[in-house]
Amino acid sequence: MNTKIKIAVVDDDESVHDILRYFYRDSDLAEITHSFTNPHHVLEEAPKLDFDLCFLDIRLPCMSGITVAQMLGHKPVIFLTGSEDKLKEALELNPIDVITKPFTRERLDQGLHKAAKLISECIEYAVFNVAESHKKVKIYLPDILF
């Protein structure tokens, strides 16, 4: 991957933000571009923000990280959590990863490598059923006009 992953961090614990900024201050893999301690602020700003991935705490005050992930819609998420009570619900959202606190740089990097692969994948074609036929046809996605 040629460019760094731009990360928005949403966690009510300021020390998590400090640790993540420290880990990725000189990284070739990722950079922390946005930090939020209040989930409402990230949702207000999200349409204007440029980020590839969200590090998102599952347990946030006044709003669940799961709700935030649903409201962010298409943005890839790596959940960070110190509790296990909402893991099943979080996994149902199909996050890139779920990393438990306390975490290590190596464990975060594992999740980021998965994210980098998914973010940089480029689908050249897909197979579709065309006009209710029973035959599969390759259609190159750049050739589809809306």
Mean pLDDT of 97-122: 90
Tokens of 126: 């897909």
Mean pLDDT of 119-127: 57
| pTM metric for this prediction | 0.79
Pick from 102, 95, 32: nearest CA to 65: 95
pLDDT category of residue 119 using cuts at 50, 70 and 90: confident
What pLDDT was estimated at residue 120?
76
Mean pLDDT of the chain: 86
Q: Contact 127/136 with Cβ under 8 angstroms? A: yes
- pLDDT per position as a tens digit, 40-96: 999 999 989 999 999 999 999 889 999 999 999 888 999 999 888 888 899 999 999
- pLDDT per position as a tens digit, 2-20: 589 999 999 999 999 999 9
CA 80 to chain CA centroid, Å, is 11
What pLDDT was estimated at residue 48?
92
Q: Contact 78/97 with Cβ under 8 angstroms? A: yes
